[in-house]
Amino acid sequence: VYVTGGGGYVGSKLVPALLEAGYRVTVIDLFIYGIETLAAVHNHPNLTLVTGDLRDEALVRRSIQGVQVVIHLACISNDPSFELDPDLGKSINYDAFKILVNAAKDAGVRRFVYASSSSVYGIKEDPNVTEDLERDPLTDYSKYKALCEDYLAPFSSDDFVTLTLRPATVCGWSPRLRLDLTVNILTNFAIN
């Protein structure tokens, strides 16, 4: 399993779970918040860590060889961060995505799991937002998430199975804790 952003908020919980389940895992991440997010499994024999940038096509193509499953988590992960540098956000969230999908397909990856976002729905009046509703991305972050979904969809086949997840805002504890998320902010305020 090849996990992009494996040192991030979700990845630092997912990678140990995959290793515990018996998978061999390769993580590609810039580790800008430190390699310590994976300290609990850093020396695991089934873990390969690749410190690098998904925009480096040669690195991605080299490190994805022999992989069966890609779980793509890496991105500029919220609207305010994306707005700080929209060109950087696009290059990471969209341009690098295309590199990754093409490299995965060329390498014979069998399954590609993409962590999109529920923000692709925009703001709805409906009491229940379901997959049947029209997407209406309102920010650059959500627009590029939707564009990635559109880019990935035509690649889906019996030998390249794709899955797009649209999680709502993730919350809870992680070795790469994010205190900028609403539930975490409110919990912190309640405790402190």
Residues found in the chain: 192
Q: Look at phi and psi of residue 22 and say left if phi exceeds 0, alpha if psi is from -120 to 50, else beta.
A: left
CB 39 within 8 A of CB 63: no
pLDDT confidence of residue 149: 98
pLDDT confidence of residue 28: 98
Q: Would you write out the chain's pLDDT as a tens digit for each of its 192 residues?
A: 999 999 999 999 999 999 999 999 999 999 998 999 999 999 999 999 999 999 999 999 999 999 999 999 999 987 788 888 999 999 999 999 999 999 999 999 999 999 999 999 999 888 888 888 899 999 999 999 999 999 999 999 999 999 999 998 887 888 887 777 677 778 888 999
pLDDT single digits (tens) 125-155: 888 888 888 999 999 999 999 999 999 999 9
pLDDT confidence of residue 168: 85
Q: Positive or negative, the Cα torsion across 114, 117, 118, 120?
A: negative
pLDDT confidence of residue 130: 85
Structure tokens at 140: 């650059």
DSSP characters for 77-91?
-SHHHHHH-HHHHHI
Cα 120 to Cα 28, 100, 149, 168: the distances in Å are 25, 21, 10, 10
